[in-house]
Amino acid sequence: MTDWSPYTIRAAAWFESLRDAICAEFEAIEREAGSEAAFTYTDWKREGVGGEDEETGGGTRGVMKGRVFEKVGVNISTVHGAFAQEFAGSINGASADQPQFSATGISLVAHMANPHVPAVHMNTRFLTTTKAWFGGGGDLNPPIPYEEDTAEFHAAFKAACDAHGPDYYERFKAWADDYFYIPHRQVHRGVGGIFYDHLECPDEAGWEANFAFTQAVGRAFLDVFPRLVRKRMGMDFTPADKSQQLEWRGRYAEFNLVYDRGTLFGLKTGGNIDAILMSLPPEATWS
């Protein structure tokens, strides 16, 4: 089996650099709006599962609350250890007999002050068990959808996909449509994007190809989402618009608490609770 630790280090370095670029861009948007808001960063250490007593990694939770970004969290983490036996069987390449894992990634959720500006989610990650694979994606979650914004967001991710696999966009768009769905509401969480998981790395060449694609996904997000924010952040909105946003946020919270894999993974692997739940909106309503 390949020793993937040097590759985990490389992936972690990329996720950290992407975090820095995204946070700098979001802070620049706040300055354009006349706000001095900035990210605050909190380091955390992983809580060992099943009696682990060695150093098992951790991460950094970044949060900003500003004039444009009502609440945005950008987390990075690099952790390793062993899954609880009852959870190991649900993870690609892990089992009760071989529960060891390592994982590194970036996770981002932005809830916006202006309901005309779409909320957004993006994450990419690299995991190893007895196998090694990448996963991630991004999806747009507008309380008030605009067809041109949806088209622009999808076009950016399609370009990233097309450069790395002729069928990637159709596959990963369909996966996002299936995944970001709230069965008990019978509605999608937003207007979609892409989602991929278990993009396996059989060897070093496979890792390089999948890492390049994962980097392209991060760059696509950094390119397209700030443009959408700048386009909409100065628009006037009504109390009815705000009410629609708050009700939509309730749906978002329901998905993340009931169905989201990342939430479950974090809770089951000793992640930081505040970092795991940073995806929840600062305010929401239910009728």
The CATH architecture annotation of domain 5-279 reads 3-Layer(aba) Sandwich (3.40)
Give me the pLDDT at residue 274, please.
82
Contact 81, 49 (CB under 8 A): yes
Neighbouring CB atoms inside 10 A of 286's CB total: 10
What is the DSSP secondary-structure string of 20-69? HHHHHHHHHHHHHTT-----EEEEEEPPPSTT--S--EEEEEEEE--SSE
- Indicate the pLDDT class of residue 113, thresholds 50, 70 and 90: very high
Assessment of whether the complete model's pTM goes beyond 0.85: yes
* DSSP letters for 187-253: EESSSEEEEEEEEE-SSHHHHHHHHHHHHHHHHHHHHHHHHHHHHHTT----HHHHHHHHHHHHHHH
- Where are the domains positioned within the chain? 5-279
Q: What percent of the chain shows pLDDT beyond 70?
A: 89
Give tens-digit pLDDT for 55-96.
Answer: 688 999 999 999 999 999 999 999 987 766 666 566 666 566
Mean pLDDT of the residues in the chain: 91
Which one has a higher pLDDT value, 29 or 96? Answer: 29
Burial 58-95 (b: 16+ CB within 10 A, else e): bbbbbbbbbbbbbbbbbbbbbbbbbbeeebbeebebbe
Q: Can you read off the two tokens belonging to residue 40? A: 């605050």
Rounded to whole angstroms, the Cα distance separating 282 from 255 reads: 15
Q: Which tens digit of pLDDT belongs to each residue from 194-252?
A: 999 999 999 999 999 999 999 999 999 999 999 999 999 999 999 999 999 999 999 99
Q: For position 264, what pLDDT does the model report? A: 77
Quick check: 1 pLDDT over 50?
no
- Mean pLDDT over 27-31 rounds to 98
In the block, which residue shows the tokens 């329901």? Answer: 254
From 80, 116, 121, 154, active-site residue? 121
**Could you tell me the pLDDT band of residue 265, with boundaries at 50, 70 and 90?**
confident
The answer to whether the beta carbons of residues 109 and 119 sit under 8 Å apart is yes
Q: Quick check: is 121 catalytic?
A: yes
Buried b (16+ CB within 10 A) or exposed e, 269-280: bbbbeebbbbbb
Distance from the first to the final alpha carbon of the chain: 53
Whose tokens are 């996963």? That residue is 135
| Average pLDDT, integer, range 38-46 | 93
Is the pLDDT at 284 greater than 90? The verdict is yes
- Find where tokens 């600062």 sit: 282
Q: Which are the contacts of 220, defined by CB distance < 8 A and separation ≥ 6?
A: 138, 156, 157, 159, 160
